[in-house]
Amino acid sequence: MSKMIDLSKEADEFLKKIEELSGEKITSCIQCGICSGSCPMINEMDLTPAQIMLMTLLGQKEELLKSKSIWICASCYTCTVRCPRELDLSKVAEALRQVKLRLSIDRIDINKMDKADLEELPPIALVSAFRKFTG
């Protein structure tokens, strides 16, 4: 017997929004955990990549948007090449970040950064961080 989970309208809308922004069919995730097992950043994460997928599926917007993990993902595409369902988690994480960034909630503020750090960091690091962490 198959079991169905009814999502609230709000949860369903959130899932649809992330599916659209990421272009990924999140409902096809089989929760195998290969992404979590492959992720180099897992030690820093509060939600594992597979949990991100499941919670997106369930439309758990608040928990997702306050999680550290969506900012910790380094877009390394290791999970992307290994997912048996060819899902691209880097796109899901980017979609979740974008939901926040588009509300003008930035993750990084250049004015609060250490001067010595700014001088030391190569442009490639600064440009990529500002692309990922600001709207």
Question: Binding segment for other proteins among 4-12, 27-35, 37-45, 48-56 (CB under 8 A)?
Answer: 37-45
- Cα of 53 vs its chain's centroid, Å: 9
What is the residue type of 121?
A: L
Judge whether 29 and 89 are in contact, CB under 8 Å: no
Q: Are 92 and 26 in contact (CB under 8 A)?
A: yes
Closer to ligand SF4 by Cβ: residue 55 or 73 = 73
**Which positions lie near ligand SF4, rule CB under 6 A?**
29-35, 38-39, 41, 49-50, 53, 73-79, 83-85, 87, 89-90, 93, 123-124, 127
Strand ranges inside the chain, DSSP E:
none
Q: Is 37 in the site for other proteins (CB under 8 A)?
A: no
Measured N-to-C along each axis, helices 49-57 and 89-101 cross at an angle, to the nearest 10 degrees, of 60
> Is 34 an interacting residue with respect to other proteins (CB under 8 A)?
no
Range 56-95, binding other proteins (CB under 8 A): 71-72, 74-78, 80-81, 88, 90-91, 94-95
- Helices (H), strands (E): how many in the chain? 9, 0
The residue ranges that bind other proteins (CB under 8 A) are 20-23, 40-41, 43-44, 71-72, 74-78, 80-81, 88, 90-91, 94-95, 98, 107-108, 113, 117, 120-129, 131-133
